[in-house]
């Protein structure tokens, strides 16, 4: 299970919730090595005061994430919701129609809670069949377009062809791989409008 970083949000501490699976939880790594915790440190180093809540659970599916989300939204009222789910649905050969419906409901709940949503895409090996793999990959841009939410097309874009950035199973990133993922997710957030949560000083009235 992923570690929930920090406590409940405060008015001065806007929150990013990462709803994910083992790829966010930091499978077989210390909690501090997972990219969501690295992201929080990097954000602070860059002048952002966001708190990152790592709600990644190893083995989780889109159905599990959907079931967990209402409580997370109620507790943390996130400014941003990063949705990193679907890989386990694909690897288990689950219904992609159902996975897409689950992701759609997750996005709808996030938007209804006034969260900005970043949907993180994944891919699965072609040995599941080219039609299944292609249908899986196309879920993410289709949903992002349907709901006009931010899309990071592929979480592993920078590491998929670099086995040295994975554990021995070649499925889960190692420490160095998580550092690369963190930078890519940060860049995607900036690309889609993440800004330091600072209010401008009110203009002084002149007489």
Can you give 182-200 as a three-state secondary structure string?
A: HHHHHHHHHHCCCCCCCCC
Residue 116 lies in a domain: yes
The answer to whether the CB of 74 falls within 8 A of the CB of 115 is: no
- Taking Cα atoms as reference points, which of 93, 160, 167, 95 lies closest to residue 122? 160
Split into its structural domains, the chain has a count of 1
Total-model pTM: 0.90
For residue 15, the model assigns a pLDDT of: 97
Residue 45 in any domain: the answer is yes
Range of the domain at 91: 15-191
Domain membership of residue 183 (yes or no) is: yes
Within-domain flag for 71? yes
pLDDT of residue 197: 63
Per the domain annotation, does 6 fall within a domain? Answer: no
Residues acting as catalytic residues: 22, 169, 172
Residues in the chain where the model's pLDDT stays below 70 = 1-12, 197-207
Residue 94 burial (10 A CB sphere; 0-12, 13-18, 19+):
middle
């Amino acid at each position: 299970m992923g570690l929930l970083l920090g406590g409940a949000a405060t008015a001065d501490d806007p929150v990013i919730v990462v709803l994910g699976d083992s790829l966010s939880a930091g499978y077989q790594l210390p909690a501090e090595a997972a990219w969501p915790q690295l992201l929080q440190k990097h954000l602070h180093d860059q002048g952002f005061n966001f708190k990152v809540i790592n709600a990644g659970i190893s083995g989780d599916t889109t159905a599990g994430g959907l079931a967990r989300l209402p409580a997370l939204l109620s507790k943390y009222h996130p400014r941003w919701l990063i949705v990193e789910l679907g890989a386990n649905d694909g690897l288990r050969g689950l219904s992609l129609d159902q996975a897409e419906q689950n992701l759609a409901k997750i996005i709808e709940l996030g938007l209804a809670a006034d969260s900005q949503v970043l949907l993180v895409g994944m891919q699965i090996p072609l040995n599941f069949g080219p039609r299944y793999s292609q249908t899986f990959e196309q879920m993410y841009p289709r949903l992002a377009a349907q709901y006009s939410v931010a899309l990071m097309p592929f979480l592993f874009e920078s590491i998929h062809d670099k086995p040295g950035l994975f554990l021995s199973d070649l499925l889960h990133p190692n420490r160095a791989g998580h550092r690369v993922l963190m930078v890519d997710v940060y860049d995607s957030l900036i690309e889609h409008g993440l800004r330091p949560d600072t209010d401008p000083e009110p203009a002084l009235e002149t007489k």
